[in-house]
Amino acid sequence: MNGAAGNARETGFGELRSGRLGVRLAASEAEVEAALALRYRVFYEECGAHADGAARQVHQDRDRFDAVADHLLVVDHGEDDSAERVVATYRLIRAAAAAAAGSFYSAAEYDLSPVLAFPGVVMELGRSCVDPEYRGLPAMQLLWRGIAASVFHYGVGLMFGCASLPGTDPDALAAELTYLHTHHLAPPELRLRALPGRYVEMRRRDPASLNAKRALASLPPLIKGYLRLGGFVGDGAVVDAAFNTTDIAVVVQTDRVTDKYYRHYEREARDGRG
């Protein structure tokens, strides 16, 4: 497991390339700081999250989990590999990192008992963002390739985390929340439940009144990506006023990933391509 000491970090699965873009784990603290700066620009300057004094001073979105987490990066190498720019990031926290931090990040919003009881390797996903200039398909595809490569590299059996819908008014998100609760609720053994003091009912409409296709289409791309991988949602949403979002818990068993993803990424991991 990597850590905060020194500049070197575990490189994991190496780098996978798609043209001038590549995806890999941050290899130094300087690269981590570039990811934290990107998060600040997206979360605070673009999406209206409320920065505290420390964050405003350094223009970084940082918390106690960042020192022990793996930071997945999509890097633009430029036309001739002469300059690198971090254009997308995802924070990955495995059990050893959570132990070092005292908990998983999601424990502040959800009862993680089903995750903690899972017999295999678990990994928490969070803090995902993409630079506005790179929000087309290639950057998102590379993020998913990096996540899949991490799953195979570390033998992860269960992925989970908090995914966000924009805004803090659950009634304005009634169609999306009701759709998720009706069509994608996790089975009891995997069902994370929002903590009692933060629980927001997701079934906010009569499901029969929903236009399911429209509700699905209006979900953020990240949540739709989880659903395409066979993901489930937990019971209850959580309003995160600091980040100007309404969060849901997502759980993905990696053996439920479609055969297409599994064959593709297992082959890349085995052949060492990228």
Choose the weakest-confidence range: 22-31, 118-127, 134-143: 134-143
Tokens of 75: 């890097």
Residues 262-267 have a mean pLDDT of: 55
- Strands (DSSP E) found in 131-189: 156-166
Q: What is the pLDDT of residues 89-133, one digit of tens each?
A: 999 999 999 999 999 999 999 999 999 999 999 999 999 999 999
Distance CA 106, CA 120 (A): 18
Q: What is the pLDDT of residues 142-166, one digit of tens each?
A: 998 999 899 989 999 999 999 999 9
Q: Measuring CA to CA, which residue among 229, 232, 221 is closest to residue 258?
A: 229
CB atoms within 10 A of CB 170: 18
> Using an 8 Å Cβ cutoff, are 196 and 225 in contact?
no
Instruction: Provide the pLDDT confidence category of residue 266 given band limits of 50, 70 and 90.
Output: low
Does residue 57 have a pLDDT over 70? yes
Q: Measuring CA to CA, which residue among 43, 25, 6, 2 is closest to residue 240?
A: 43
Does residue 227 have a pLDDT over 70? yes
Q: Tell me what pLDDT residue 271 has.
A: 53
> Which pTM value belongs to this model?
0.89
> Using an 8 Å Cβ cutoff, are 199 and 193 in contact?
yes
Query: Would you kindly state where each structural domain of the chain is located, as residue ranges?
Result: 88-271
Does residue 180 have a pLDDT over 80? yes
Distance CA 182, CA 101 (A): 34
**Amino acid at residue number 166:** P
Q: What is the pLDDT of residues 188-217, one digit of tens each?
A: 999 999 999 999 999 999 999 999 999 999
Q: Tell me what pLDDT residue 1 has.
A: 33
Instruction: Provide the pLDDT confidence category of residue 52 given band limits of 50, 70 and 90.
Output: confident
CB atoms within 10 A of CB 26: 24
The angle formed by the CA atoms of residues 245, 143 and 4, to the nearest 5 degrees, is 80
May I ask the CATH class of domain 88-271? Answer: alpha beta
CB atoms within 10 A of CB 129: 23
